[in-house]
Amino acid sequence: GESVGLHLPTLSVQEGDNSIINCAYSNSASDYFIWYKQESGKGPQFIIDIRSNMDKRQGQRVTVLLNKTVKHLSLQIAATQPGDSAVYFCAETRSNDYKLSFGAGTTVTVRA
Amino acid sequence: DSGVTQTPKHLITATGQRVTLRCSPRSGDLSVYWYQQSLDQGLQFLIQYYNGEERAKGNILERFSAQQFPDLHSELNLSSLELGDSALYFCASSVAPRGVSGNTIYFGEGSWLTVV
């Protein structure tokens, strides 16, 4: 079965507000995590990644937080824009595994 | 544009038929991954190749097979197609064989397969 999952399948956000998308994983051996964004009709697009020896990483308008104690990952999007409307996936892998395992995805809709 | 090229973009075929999906990885990438995305299953890992050799296998059906050629392009062969095989098939590529920091896995735009 899946080793990663998202708390909510959908998220509606007012334009300009911050978005928080959550993801839980089950395997304590997972050592690398990635967030992807998938727009309608397109392939998943890399957003940001984080290794298990870190608890926070920042990119442009995005921040990923990793809490290994509770096996929780989150993606924060600052000042959400209409172009942020998409499905967001968390994915994980581990040192003894070559594949990337994806969660089910959260659909983010930005309200004008 | 991720640099990963997939053809065809759309394909409609009948049950029982066989199709081949093609993928050209990003320039310099040695590893190719195939994923299946359906509405009820999300992104499911199928198989991975690195420099021509199979490295990892996921939930790939026996009716499906893949290979990576010396020029690093890859093909996914789907045979005896069933209605349930209708899905979006993604190819992805990376430089190194596994997902690690600095080895970003880039996805193509996918091949839409409809089995009727």
Contacts of B4 in chain A (CB under 8 A): 43
Q: Which of A90, A107, A84, A106 is nearest to A24 (CA)?
A: A90
Contacts of A103 in chain B (CB under 8 A): 42
Cβ atoms of B111 and B20 closer than 8 Å: no
Pick from B2, B33, B101: which is nearest to A49 by CB?
A: B101
**pLDDT for the residue A71:** 93
Cβ distance A32 to B101 less than 8 Å, yes or no, reads yes
Contacts of B33 in chain A (CB under 8 A): 99-100
pLDDT one-digit tens code per residue, B14-37: 999 999 999 999 999 999 999 999
Burial class of residue B101, CB neighbours in 10 A (0-12, 13-18, 19+): middle
Q: Does A34 touch chain B (CB under 8 A)?
A: yes
Average pLDDT, chain B: 94
Kindly tell me the sign of the dihedral angle through the C-alpha atoms of A66, A69, A71, A72.
negative
User: How far is it, in rounded angstroms, from Cα B20 to Cα B79?
Assistant: 9
Residue A7's pLDDT band, with cuts at 50, 70 and 90, is: low
Contacts of B45 in chain A (CB under 8 A): 99-102
Pairing outcome for strands B87-94 and B111-115: antiparallel
Q: Which of A61, A57, A56 is nearest to A19 (CA)?
A: A61
Q: Does A40 touch chain B (CB under 8 A)?
A: no
Residue B12 reports pLDDT greater than 70? yes
* The residue type at A71: K
User: How far is it, in rounded angstroms, from Cα B111 to Cα B4?
Assistant: 12
User: How far is it, in rounded angstroms, from Cα B47 to Cα A98?
Assistant: 10
pLDDT one-digit tens code per residue, A24-36: 988 888 889 999 9
Of A1-5, A68-72, B88-92, the range with the lowest mean pLDDT is: A1-5
Q: Which of B78, B84, B97, B83 is nearest to B31 (CA)?
A: B97
**pLDDT for the residue B92:** 96
Residue A4 reports pLDDT greater than 70? no
Q: Does B1 touch chain A (CB under 8 A)?
A: no
Contacts of A35 (CB under 8 A, 6+ apart): A21, A47, A48, A49, A62, A64, A73, A75, A88, A89, A90, A91
**pLDDT for the residue A6:** 55
pLDDT one-digit tens code per residue, B46-56: 999 999 999 99
Cβ atoms of A75 and A49 closer than 8 Å: no
Residue B82 reports pLDDT greater than 80? yes
pLDDT one-digit tens code per residue, A37-91: 999 889 999 999 999 999 999 999 999 999 999 999 999 999 999 999 999 999 9
Structure token pair of residue B89: 């098939």
**pLDDT for the residue A3:** 56
> If you search the block for the tokens 């096996």, which residue do you land on?
A71
Cβ distance B107 to A101 less than 8 Å, yes or no, reads no
**pLDDT for the residue A2:** 44
